Structure 1
Amino acid sequence: MTVEERPAERLTNPRADRVRKVASLAGRSARQRTGLFLAEGPQAVREALIAWLARHEVAPEASGLGPDVEAHRDLPLPDAVYFAPGVMARHGDLAALIERIHAVLFDPSRELPRSDRLFLREASEEVIAAMCDAVSPQGIVAVCRIPSASPGPELSGCHLTAALCRLQDPGNVGTVIRTADAAGADAVLLSQGTVDVWSPKVVRAAAGSHFHLPLVPAAALADELSALRAAGTQILAAAGEGAVPLAGGDLPLHRPTLWMFGNEGAGLDAQERALADHAVAVPLYGRAESLNVATAAAVCLYASAMAQRQMPGADR
């Protein structure tokens, strides 16, 4: 039986209470009150479904995340998925994932706790549009649980970490999260004053990476960095006027590294810079006055990622 053939009532009223509650998650107060956030579009929902299967499927390695389910305990999981007619026909991979989820949910030999069950429901295009924050909804949305901030992941064993210091643009923050994920970073730290990483604009810009690596609030950033330094991590601050150039080969980028990235307009303040071992400048070879912070983050994170992987015996 396919997803569309399952006997479930389609949601058709865009003014229904359930629809309004989902739509309210575009606002920060609703996210804080409920501990839920929106993941919109096929790419983000795909990663949410894979994360659920990694936690609940009998053979979690089939999900693509590998058999170490505990390693993903700090990642969000979906609570409900709503999809418009025809989405599954256009995205066969999503249909296959949902069929696997149905196999787990309706397995008579298993009894999932209520908190672990996933609500799946077809909805009209009008309902999906009413639920979504995006101007052009793509026919599918997931309501996901924000992971608890405590206990956080063990950061002392991280090879590569990004710290976002008071970044305010949702597109930049989502892009840095996506870049950190692509570069193989182990986690992203979030200082006080950074935009809410669970907002729809950040989640859309990250394109599913919220489900791949922990996003760790760092209320006391100085303490976090001090602990990392004591564990052997070097702290580098990306700064346009930094004294140490990224190019030139003098930085030991093969070492475990945390990169700090500052506010779009003001950069890193004096207190934040004082936390770093070096202030590092990305070279500007043209006439541009500076680099966008997300672009600078891509250059810095990949410089470390490539250096770490070029070391003899590297297993990353």
Structure 2
Amino acid sequence: MVEPVETPLAASNPRVKQLRRLSRRSERSERRLFLADGPKAVEGALAAGCVVEVLVRPDALGLVPDLPAGVRRTLVDDRALAALSDSVSPAGVVAVCRFVDVELDRALTEDSRLVAVCADVRDPGNAGTVVRCADAAGADSVVLAGSSVDLYNPKTLRASVGSAFHLPVSVEPDPAAAVRAAQAAGLVVLAADGAGEVDLFEADELLARPTAWLFGNEARGLPEDLAALADHRVAIPIHGRAESLNLSTAAALCLYASARAQRS
């Protein structure tokens, strides 16, 4: 008996139209679903066990590994895939995934040694890169606090290069609550502040302690009342004429300084 040929879904298909609405943050939040775009993101999502369905072009089936039980595989045509993808040149595969963020008490525990807390970080590329840097530095978790960009923004996920699936990420509306929770878990909260009283490169003894780094908005930095809650303010010395460092660059330096001190 000849198996029926599966017809790829077109962009006009009601199911594709419904999934396309997940490009809106409000729709994602209501349904607690998001789209992971591209082979690397799909691979990470499958490893995290959050995939509901994989949509793939027929010519990209080789990008899809064996799927676990309960995960659907659906063929879509070029236009349908383009409608679901945020990429200029879609790689051919998109996964529908359940939210993976965790409660704050799971991100900040007595066993935590290194955590990144982002307060009002609005640029998705910066947020995703901080998640990636935290993962690379061996951090235990990341907290996106205040009015920070959505973890499930396609640009955030792309910038994380799969790291959003590797370590716990919590979403906390109140940055002050995140700081207090970190301190209650036994973490020293260090605010990254260009005017800080502690020099990053002369703080190994401090950095060796369980630490939560607090990073502020790209343009405005940390508000004074939030920075005042930190245990110390730490500055990255600038030896040249640059006014400041990009947020994600500063975060990478701070997280790796802690990782080195904690492992020495």
TM-score (normalizing by structure 1): 0.77
Q: Please name the residue that 1:313 is paired with.
A: none
Gaps of 5+ in 2: none
Q: Please name the residue that 2:58 is paired with.
A: 85
> Quick one: distance in 1 between partners of 2:77 and 2:10?
8
SS at match of 1:216: strand
Q: How many angstroms does 1:249 deviate by?
A: 3.8
- Partners of 2:107 and 2:141 within 8 A in 1: no
Partner AA of 1:272 in structure 2 = L
Find the partner of 1:130 among 83, 87, 102.
83
- Partners of 1:85 and 1:125 within 8 A in 2: no
Q: How many angstroms does 1:8 deviate by?
A: 6.5
Find the partner of 2:72 among 106, 110, 119.
119
Q: Please name the residue that 1:29 is paired with.
A: 26
Q: How many angstroms does 1:217 deviate by?
A: 1.7
Q: How many angstroms does 1:165 deviate by?
A: 0.5
Q: Say if 1:183 and 1:31 are closer, same or farther in 2 by CA, change over 3 A.
A: same
Find the partner of 1:229 among 183, 188, 197.
183
Aligned residues: 261
> Quick one: distance in 1 between partners of 2:137 and 2:197?
25
Q: Say if 1:128 and 1:154 are closer, same or farther in 2 by CA, change over 3 A.
A: closer
- Partners of 1:23 and 1:133 within 8 A in 2: no
1:192 corresponds to 2:150:
no
1:181 corresponds to 2:135:
yes
Q: C-alpha deviations, 1:146-177, integer Å up to 9, x for none?
A: 14654851522211000000011111111111
> Quick one: distance in 2 between partners of 1:10 and 1:51?
29
- Partners of 1:10 and 1:121 within 8 A in 2: no
Find the partner of 2:236 among 265, 272, 282.
282
Q: Please name the residue that 2:113 is paired with.
A: 159
Percent of paired sites with the same residue: 45
Find the partner of 2:198 among 220, 237, 244.
244
Q: C-alpha deviations, 1:190-243, integer Å up to 9, x for none?
A: 211111111111111111112111211223333332243243211000111211
| Greater shift in the superposed pair: 157-166 or 250-259 | 250-259
| Greater shift in the superposed pair: 144-153 or 293-302 | 144-153
Partner AA of 1:33 in structure 2 = E
1:255 corresponds to 2:252:
no
Q: C-alpha deviations, 1:280-310, integer Å up to 9, x for none?
A: 1111122211000000000000111121122
Q: Please name the residue that 1:61 is paired with.
A: none
Gaps of 5+ in 1: 1-5, 53-76, 106-116, 311-316
Runs of 4 or more above 3 Å deviation:
147-152
Find the partner of 2:99 among 134, 146, 159.
146
Find the partner of 2:253 among 286, 291, 299.
299
Q: Say if 1:10 and 1:203 are closer, same or farther in 2 by CA, change over 3 A.
A: farther
- Partners of 1:233 and 1:256 within 8 A in 2: yes
- Partners of 1:8 and 1:121 within 8 A in 2: no
Q: Please name the residue that 1:50 is paired with.
A: 47
- Partners of 2:101 and 2:170 within 8 A in 1: no
> Quick one: distance in 2 between partners of 1:150 and 1:249?
31
SS at match of 1:86: helix
- Partners of 1:12 and 1:126 within 8 A in 2: no
- Partners of 1:80 and 1:142 within 8 A in 2: yes
Q: Say if 1:8 and 1:81 are closer, same or farther in 2 by CA, change over 3 A.
A: farther
Partner AA of 2:57 in structure 1 = A
- Partners of 2:107 and 2:170 within 8 A in 1: no
Q: How many angstroms does 1:36 deviate by?
A: 0.6
- RMSD (Å) for aligned C-alpha atoms: 1.9
| Greater shift in the superposed pair: 143-152 or 287-296 | 143-152
